[in-house]
Amino acid sequence: MNKRGTVLLEQIIFWVLNIVFFVLLMAFVWRASTGVVVIEEIYAKQIALAVDMMKPGTEANISLSELYDIAKKNKFEGYVVLPEPDKNLITVRAADSEGYSHHYFSNLKNLQFNLDKENKNLIIKAPND
């Protein structure tokens, strides 16, 4: 190739990379502007904090009505809260994405997470050991 063909190829690559970058940037801005990211983070941290504060024999009831409303608005049909007690991890999702995961530090065994979709509540029980 001559010098002119090389410059043209470099410019095409430059513009393609710029377009890809701006498309990814706009996708991130759109997702962040819908508030889903912030709401998922807030609920994941709130649930993890509730679990960390629990003592054996207690029960926590957390309202998820706002989270369910956002999931419905985003036409998300999956589980909005995915607890993983074996990993001490709570994952909250309100859209078709990986959601937000947060670790909790409680060493309580046999935690029970019951998701009540009708009343839009999460009931966490810490049985007596």
Q: What is the CA radius of gyration of the chain?
A: 22
Closest-CA residue to 81 (of 105, 56, 115): 115
Asked whether 50 and 60 are in contact (CB, 8 A), the reply is yes
- On average, the pLDDT of the chain sits at 87
- pLDDT for res 5: 60
Task: Give the model confidence (pLDDT) of 84-114 as tens digits.
Answer: 988 999 999 988 888 899 999 988 888 899 9
- pLDDT for res 7: 75
Rounded CA-CA distance 49/103 in Å is 9
- pLDDT for res 79: 86
Both structure tokens of 68:
């369910």
Give me the torsion for CA of 103, 78, 40, 112, rounded to 10°: -40
Rounded CA-CA distance 106/3 in Å is 65
Contacts of 105 by beta carbon, 8 Å cutoff, 6+ apart = 52, 88
- pLDDT for res 63: 92
Stretch 45-58: mean pLDDT = 92
Closest-CA residue to 97 (of 114, 113, 82): 82
- pLDDT for res 100: 92
Q: Element (H or E) spanning 95, and its range?
A: none
Confidence grade of residue 35 (pLDDT, cut at 50, 70, 90): confident
